[in-house]
Amino acid sequence: MEFLIEYGMFLAKFLTVALIMLFAIGAIIFIVLRAKGDGEHLNIKNINEKYETMSFMLNSQVLGKKEFKKHLKKQKQDHKEKDKAVSDERKKIYVLDFKGDIKASTVSSLREEITAILTIADKKDEIVVILESGGGTVHGYGLGASQLKRIRDKEVILTVAVDKVAASGGYMMACVADKIIAAPFAIIGSIGVLAQIPNFHKLLKKMDIDFEQITAGDYKRTLTMFGENTDEDREKFKEELEDTHHLFKEFVKDNREQVDIHKIATGEHWYGKRALELNLVDELITSDDYLSSAANDADIFEIKYERKKPVTEKLISFGANILDAIDGR
């Protein structure tokens, strides 16, 4: 019996010490992780080096030994001449990649990237935004356009490259640029406003379900999903859409004076070639060709703001991607 009591006391002491040690280790890990921050950082990639590496790998396989040696000798000479030139005098191009969803959620990363670049960018430098978006919420893309406007305000050259689509809110952002380049079959335009909402009033009435909605102010709520919508409600809602469209047209005209706003603000979209004829874009060229051509005279850097997502956010994002795939979007 005494043995069991002593063993029990020993076990209790051991567990107490073990718990204290685990707590201490946990506290240290927490402090270290907190000191590291929340996983936010800028990922910077030298595009010139990327091109050189690709060229080296391809030439090493394609060229014969003598030709490859000649190529390396020439490349070495080119590097010497480049090193002789004052690096500060070379133009720098900063490349940002913006893929917009309906909420323009990547604007939060864009604002951080722009803030970082503007701390060092010179007036001779250029920022190229490779933009891909079919539009979304007015306030989301309005903020995105305002972020790009910061670049113009600092008198840094801004070029927007559209390889696939810049429509509606996407074009709202693109039109801020000094220059818009687009692939020949990129979708451009859609300068209009769309709103749609289902109404279940008849269904609820059929099922004998009442819906109560109390508001203060004549137009606190115009159209509703569950209540009965009147002609007055619809008229007011349309009035709000027209006002938003008017603001959209004004914004495009202010930033691209060369467009015939009445001709292009119909909600239609055009492919790159037609968009060029309508002055919606300035040049037909892909972002790849534009950057590779500029690489001889400029140092090109791809800037990407990255934040480690929590596990819950990753799961939600994964689920959203599956739903998008099912919907065929």
The reply to whether 87 belongs to the active site is no
Q: Which of 36, 65, 206, 220 is catalytic?
A: 220
206 flagged as catalytic = no
From the candidates 133, 168, 190, 287, which is the catalytic residue? 168
Label each residue of the chain as H, E or C.
CHHHHHHHHHHHHHHHHHHHHHHHHHHHHHHHHHHCCCCEEEEEEEHHHHHHHHHHHHHHHHCCHHHHHHHHHHHHHHHHHHHHCCHHHCEEEEEEEEECCCCCCCHHHHHHHHHHHHCCCCCCCEEEEEEEECCCCHHHHHHHHHHHHHHHHCCCEEEEEECCEEECHHHHHHCCCCEEEECCCCEEECCCCCCCCCCCHHHHHHCCCCCCCCCCCCCCCCCCCCCCCCHHHHHHHHHHHHHHHHHHHHHHHHHCCCCCHHHHCCCCEEEHHHHHHCCCCCEECCHHHHHHHHCCCEEEEEEEEEECCCHHHHHHHHHHHHHHHHHCC
Q: Catalytic residue numbers? A: 168, 220
